[in-house]
Structure 1
Amino acid sequence: MTTVPTAPSPPVSPTSVRPAAVARTGLYALLAANAAVVTLLAVQAGFASNALVVIGRFAGLYGALLMAFQLLLVARLPWLDRRIGMDRLTNWHRWTGFGLLWTLVAHLVFITFGYARSSSLDPVSELVDLAETVEGVLRATVATALILVVGAVSARRARRRLAYETWHFIHLYTYAAVVLAFTHQVAVGTTFTASAAATAYWYTLWITAGAALVTGRLLLPLRRNLRHRLRVEAVVPENDQVVSVYITGRHLDRLPARAGQFFLWRFLTRDRWWQANPYSLSAAPDGTRLRLTVKAAGAGSASLRHLRPGTRVFAEGPYGAFTALHRTRPASLLIAGGVGVTPVRALLEEIDGHAVVVHRVAAERDAVLHDELRQLALAKGADLHLVTGPPVPDRLGPRELAALVPDIAERDVFLCGPPPMMTAVLGTLRELGVPARQIHFERFSLAG
């Protein structure tokens, strides 16, 4: 372990407003308000005499609401992403997806059994009859089947066995399910046509959700890339496995990127243009260039070493809530594991107040960007600790971390590194009594 002691810089007052809490509360309130409107409109439309049909219709209405909410969660809107983070939005998307799956299954089952009770047909025959005779029912059945398939491949066990590209391709069928479900609702939804207010509400809901998706996933990335015209400026090897790529372009001072954020980078070469990979900025944006530093972990990341200056770049973002926007305390602790130092190095460049930086690596030769960290620490009055050694025993356990940072409970903690290390350190922070609101971390997790 090596330590660079320095004099602390004067603290600054962090914001008292918690952006993540504001955004979460806003999303919860939005969903609750729409659920109340859906319930009110359904009650005003009246009830069927069959209780099973009534339950089925409510399940279908709440399923339609959850489907629209799903589109909002994966729209990658900057305001939400900067405050909540793509990883947490993706996690919400996943669990909302399972809720959607069960509401749609309940809708299909209760409606089918309800109508079967009123006829002489068994449930299977009733479903076939509805699909053949009622407009939109067949489309709804296909939509439910697609959601079931997507839900099955999104289960953790199945997800671990599938390549990301395969999972993503299957996931795209969700959009087909959305279209089929909407046309079904328009065709046979009694609540949809019960009143002018109900019709206006549902059209407004779907148009708003669709517009958010198109804006965040298509229009905004296209607009930014047309404005900034990103290109590779230089490729600089850091060591045998790590390379830094410098990106330049036009009007980069207008790009709303912050230290700690990442982009989905697509390098427009003949063999890699179709691959988009999430890489963090390894230096705070300065208005003239961007830098990412990547460790070779596969064919895609290894190929970055061979990029030529002038290569066009299509970047989606910036994304991520791993920024100084979420600070709650004047002092900070930045913990990085391995190449997870890249957003931490950028964050140290931007952050104010006294900071302690802990860089955890297996050996000193793995300490990427450590010379830059040392220079930054000296310039900003931060304390820098390089912690080396094998993963076992844990070099960042409660005793070790408390010895390095005695006032750890009084600091914001920013954490980035390999998942096993992050899990271990999060447990350590809880054991040391660091409040959850002071712990900031983000995992790369993409959806839809």
Structure 2
Amino acid sequence: MDTTQAPPDTPAPALERAPRGARSRRLWRRAAIGVLWLTSVGVAVLWLAGGGAQELTRLPGGALASMGRMTGLVSANLLLYQVLLMARVPLFERAFGHDVLTRSHRAVGMWSFWLLVAHIVLLVLGYAADSGMQPLLQLWALVWGYPGMLLATAATLLMILVVVTSARRARARIRYESWHLLHLYAYLGVGLAIPHMLWTGTDLRTPLAAGYWWALWIAAVGSIVLWRIVLPVVRSLRHDLRVASVERDGATGVRVHVRGRDLDRLGARAGQFLIWRFLDGPGWMRGHPFSLARSPRRGELVLVARLVGDGTARLRDLRPGVRAIVEGPLGVLTGEARRTRSLLLLGAGSGVVPLLAILDEEPYGWGEATLVTRDSAPEHLLGGEHVRALVEGRGVRHVPLHGPRAGGRSSWLPSDWEGWDGADLVRSLVDVRDVDIYLCGPDAWASAVRHDLFRAGVQPGRIHQESFTS
């Protein structure tokens, strides 16, 4: 455990923390939840206005078809919100944070898919009950005999492709770049599903219903175009973001320095990340999320990435002057949530990077900040030189936890620390009654850390976490 004694002439900087940021985020969250509930109620109203409740009394065909229409409406609503959740809409980003939106995007997508399956099954069974046809023959008749159904069938197949390739086991076998390309077919699926809703959907024939769905489609498409294409390009050109230099970072990392004009007006804060695209040749359109490794107040943007795939490997070959296009800043792992003088920051792998930027930017006295890093080997630590500078120049205590995983109760510790209880280790490092804890790393590791933090007596509101799992 590395510790540094404070020089006698080193004053502790003042910590001024106004609650305005937390209140603002709560207001954004309430507004976002209100929008979600309002539109969900709107879908139910559309179903009722279309005679859905009355149809439930007509057994069995009418009831099955009515439930099929309802599941279809909810599925379409969730599908469009799935697009909106990842469109970088400020309402949702400020309310929930990018990692929460990413998990919600996945959950909403699965619910939308299974409701789509229920929509198809219930409609086929309902129509078959009324017509007296076999269900498979009825399905064939629906696909070939109703307008827009061939396009809807293609949309369903695309959705199946996206769901199958998004399963965790499938993701583990697919390159990130390939998965990202396949995932974009979800947008095509949304587009192909629209015509059959307009041409055959009985719940869209009133002006109110048509107005609602057109407004939601326009909002989804407009949000993608505005916040994921237009604004990133305009901002990046305005700030003239270009690569200044590239260097190795430890045994497995690369560090890229990006400079430009008026970077303070980009609005980035230490702990946040950007979606980066470098205009260096074919493949530049695939964006990659990389955290800021230094405080953006230093006049440049610095990213550090571990070399694990094609997207990160090409960073080594960037040349000075290459233009960068960025989306963001994104994420809520910033000093805005901090309320105490004492800091405990725990990071694993690439999760160490944003924590170093926070230590760059936040005020604290000598010995008031403790950094715990976890890697498979000491040479794999990202930002090693930065860590040493923080220890020597600002009195940060560094606790390196390197080596194979422990097999005991506290699985987030390395095997050399297997005799320690994780909760006892936390209590030995900080006063858990008066500390803000920043946590960043793989989900399984972070979950084990949180478990021990709670056992140590840390209040949930003092833990600030960001997940990198997509």
TM-score (norm 2): 0.85
CA contact under 8 A between 1:266 and 1:276: conserved in structure 2?
yes
Deviations 1:154-203 (A, max 9, x none): 2222222222223222222211221122211111111211x222221221
Match of 2:302 among 291, 300, 324: 291
- 2:34 aligns with 29
Matches within 5 A, 1:377-416: 383-390=396-403, 391-392=414-415, 393-394=417-418, 397-405=422-430, 407-416=431-440
Amino acid at match of 1:423: S
Residue matched to 2:141: 129
CA drift at 1:236: 3.9
8 Å CA contact 1:11, 1:331 repeated in 2:
no
Distance change (3 Å), C-alpha of 1:100 and 1:310: same
Tell me the residue number matched to 1:181.
193
Mapping of residues 266-277 of structure 1, within 5 Å: 266-270=277-281, 273-277=284-288
Tell me: CA distance 1:227–1:65, structure 2 relative to 1, closer, same or farther (3 Å): same
Q: 2:99 aligned with 1:52, yes or no?
A: no
How far apart in 2 are the matches of 1:223 and 1:61?
Answer: 36
Shift of 1:220: 1.5
Aligned partners of 1:418 and 1:35: how far apart in 2? 33
The alignment partner of 1:333 has SS state of strand
Greater Cα offset, 170-179 or 76-85: 76-85
Q: 1:356 to 1:174 in 2, by over 3 A?
A: same
**Alignment match, 1:282:** 293
Structure 2, unpaired ranges of 5+ = 404-413
Looking at structure 2, the residues matched to 388 and 424 of structure 1 have their Cα atoms a distance apart, in angstroms, of 14
Which runs of at least 4 in structure 1 moved beyond 6 Å after TM superposition? none
Percentage identity across paired residues of the two chains = 37
Distance 1:115 1:40 in 2: 23
Question: In the aligned structure 2, how far is the partner of 1:444 from the partner of 1:238?
Answer: 20
Shift of 1:304: 3.2
Question: Does residue 270 of structure 2 align to residue 265 of structure 1?
Answer: no
**Contact 1:242/1:293, CA 8 A, preserved across alignment:** yes
Q: Are the counterparts in 1 of residues 370 and 429 from structure 2 also a CA contact under 8 Å? A: no
Match of 2:406 in 1: none
Instruction: Please state how far the C-alpha of 1:22 moved relative to its aligned partner.
Output: 4.3
Matches within 5 A, 1:180-329: 180-193=192-205, 195-270=206-281, 273-286=284-297, 288-329=299-340
For these two proteins, the number of residue pairs brought into alignment is 443
Distance 1:304 1:137, change over 3 A: closer
Supply the RMSD in Å over aligned alpha carbons.
Answer: 2.7
The one-letter code sitting in structure 1 at the alignment partner of 2:173 is: R
SS in 1 for 2:108: helix
SS at match of 1:308: coil
Task: Determine the C-alpha separation between the residues in 2 that align with 1:372 and 1:169.
Answer: 35
Q: CA deviation at 1:285?
A: 0.8
The alpha carbon displacement at 1:328 in A equals 4.6
Q: 1:229 to 1:424 in 2, by over 3 A?
A: same
Q: Distance in 1 between matches of 2:259 and 2:167?
A: 40
Q: Which runs of 5+ in 1 are unaligned?
A: none
Matched, 1:3 2:8: no
The answer to whether structure 1 residue 140 and structure 2 residue 143 are counterparts is no
Secondary structure of the structure 1 residue equivalent to 2:198: helix
Q: 1:198, 1:291 → 2: CA distance?
A: 48
Residue matched to 1:360: 373
